[in-house]
């Protein structure tokens, strides 16, 4: 299986503070890769570089073979980025919003309709798509913007804390949607999360970051064995305090 993402010794500083230091890892097509770390670990800076919102100071990353440094325009055609506090146009209905987004990506009417249908299937909001987004709960809005991010079938979906602030049931719905999209569409996912259980049940592989550096990475089972732990919380604690 080919790499959807290959990060090559990427670094970024803000003045004297080095936020990301020579990070390297890859994500396969259809793979879900989780990033764990405390606030300030460098996760969001890394995601923003991959989304071409920030330029690396050094290093590079290839997304579907395109360099984020040399070909950011091509990268933007094959990624989606969902920041932590992503919202939608509240005056629109959910259905209109999905149609609007589809129209930005596809010119042909049939392709737009297929894209909207994927969005409806992914979010699972049913008849509530006919209501204005201003009436949606946080969980409903999060499902809608996740659908927006994935219905275009990007090669790589970059998700920053996709279940932040959601209750248990809405979080489960989001995780199941990610798992289904990775399997059905072959979309690769790179997601950050503070929820270790979320990483354990969703990610194929994961990495722990601290002070801009990747401390360790592997499958959840490999990490548990490496740190002689029974939970990823224990793995995280032992890795960052070592």
Residue the block writes with tokens 């006919």: 130
Judged against a pLDDT cut of 90, whether residue 88 lies above it is answered with no
Specify the pLDDT at position 165.
86
Rounded CA separation 179/80 (Å): 16
Q: pLDDT (tens digit, 9 = 90+) per residue, 204-237? A: 999 999 999 999 999 999 999 999 999 999 999 9
Residue pair 142/95 in contact (Cβ under 8 Å)? The answer is no
Q: pLDDT (tens digit, 9 = 90+) per residue, 21-58? A: 999 999 999 999 999 999 899 999 999 999 999 999 99
Residue of higher predicted confidence among 86 and 145: 145
Specify the pLDDT at position 195.
87
State the SS3 of the chain: CCEEEEEEEEEEEECCEEEEEEEEEEEECCCEEEEECCCCCCHHHHHHHHCCCCCCCEEEEEECCEECCCCHHHHHCCEEEECCCCCCCCCCEHHHHHHHHHHHHCCCHHHHHHHHHHHHHHHCCHHHHHCEHHHCCHHHHHHHHHHHHHCCCCCEEEEECCCCCCCHHHHHHHHHHHHHHHHHHCCEEEEECCCHHHHHHHCCEEEEEECCEEEEEECHHHHHHHCCCCCHHHHHHHHHCC
Judged against a pLDDT cut of 90, whether residue 194 lies above it is answered with no
Residue 224: both structure tokens together: 């548990």
Q: pLDDT (tens digit, 9 = 90+) per residue, 126-164? A: 999 999 999 999 999 999 999 999 999 999 999 999 998
Q: pLDDT (tens digit, 9 = 90+) per residue, 92-123? A: 999 999 999 999 999 999 999 999 999 999 99
**Cα 41–Cα 34–Cα 7 angle in degrees, nearest 5:** 75
Specify the pLDDT at position 14.
93
Specify the pLDDT at position 184.
93
Specify the pLDDT at position 190.
98
pTM (predicted TM-score): 0.94
pLDDT band at 2 (very low <50, low <70, confident <90, very high): confident
Specify the pLDDT at position 84.
80
């Amino acid at each position: 299986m080919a790499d959807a993402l290959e990060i090559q010794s990427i670094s970024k500083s803000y003045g004297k503070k080095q936020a990301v230091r020579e990070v390297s890892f890859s994500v396969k097509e259809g793979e879900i890769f989780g990033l764990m770390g405390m606030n300030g670990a460098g996760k969001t800076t890394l995601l923003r570089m991959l989304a071409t919102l920030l330029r690396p100071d050094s290093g590079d990353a290839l997304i579907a073979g395109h360099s984020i440094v040399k070909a950011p325009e091509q990268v933007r055609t094959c990624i989606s980025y969902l920041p932590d506090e992503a919202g939608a146009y509240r005056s629109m209905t959910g259905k209109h919003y999905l149609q609007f987004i589809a129209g930005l990506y596809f010119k042909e009417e049939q392709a737009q309709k297929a894209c909207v249908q994927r969005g409806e299937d992914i979010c699972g909001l049913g008849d509530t798509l006919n209501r204005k987004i201003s009436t949606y709960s946080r969980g409903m809005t999060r499902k809608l913007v996740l659908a927006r991010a994935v219905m275009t079938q990007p090669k790589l979906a970059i998700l920053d804390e996709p279940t932040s602030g959601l209750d248990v049931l809405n979080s489960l719905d989001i995780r199941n949607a990610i798992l289904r999209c990775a399997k059905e569409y072959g979309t690769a996912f790179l997601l950050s999360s503070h929820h270790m259980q979320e990483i354990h049940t969703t990610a194929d592989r994961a990495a722990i970051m601290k002070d801009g550096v990747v401390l360790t990475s592997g499958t959840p089972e490999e990490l548990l064995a490496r740190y002689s732990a029974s939970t990823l919380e224990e793995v995280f604690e032992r890795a960052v305090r070592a």
